Amino acid sequence: MAQNGSVRKSRPNILVTGTPGTGKTTTSSALAKTTQLRHIIVKDLVKEKNLHDGWDDQLDCYLINEGLVCDELEDLMEEGGNIIDYHGCDFFPERWFDQVVVLQTDNTVLFDRLSRRGYTGSKLSNNIECEIFQVLLQEAKESYPEDIVVALKSDTIEEITRNVASLTDWVGSWHRAT
């Protein structure tokens, strides 16, 4: 797995992305504990720092201001040692990430997870379709060098545990490109 060539950074930056319900926050939280990397949940950052352009009643979420989010994260990303947890990836600068992890979940498992969260109607069906058509994997492959993009199954706790172990090993072996 490749490293980006940032001069200042002493620890890697990882993007964990995927359709809502694929286990981004569960995986990122566990990975942060095992690696001591900083876990940044973008949706929480947007809310806390007011990095949005209002509320979308139809999608029941904030309309994030991508420029403000990138401005807010710039110094932290240059420093390194971050896990960014977000369901999109195409607006983050390519230079920020050493690894891009796209979590994928079986549609039946995903349907159950999202239903338990209260997703209904078009919000539920749009997210299931996004997963069926692998929209986020395609977005990651179009936005970042293919050698840093990895798709991981995230259906069960065993798979999540394996993913965290694998990513922890990768972080341990990472070294800044010189």
Please report the pLDDT score of residue 127 as a whole number: 96
Q: Binding site membership: which residues? A: 21, 23-26, 117
Please report the pLDDT score of residue 9 as a whole number: 87
* Amino acid, single-letter form, for residue 149: V
Q: Is 31 helix (H, G, I), strand (E, B) or coil?
A: helix
Please report the pLDDT score of residue 8 as a whole number: 65
Residues 6+ apart with CB under 8 A from 108: none
The encoded tokens of residue 26 equal 């569960």
Please report the pLDDT score of residue 177 as a whole number: 59
Checking 104-109 for CB contacts under 8 A at 24+ apart, the result is 104/18, 104/19, 104/22, 104/131, 104/134, 104/137, 104/151, 104/152, 104/153, 104/154, 105/18, 105/19, 105/21, 105/22, 105/23, 105/131, 105/153, 105/154, 105/155, 106/155, 107/131, 107/132, 109/155
Q: Binding site membership for ATP: which residues? A: 21, 23-26, 117
Please report the pLDDT score of residue 3 as a whole number: 46
- Which residue from 171, 148, 156, 173 is spatially nearest to 26, judged by alpha carbons? 156
Other CB atoms within 10 A of residue 100 CB: 28
Please report the pLDDT score of residue 136 as a whole number: 97
- Spell out, as residue ranges, where the chain has pLDDT lower than 70: 1-8, 176-178
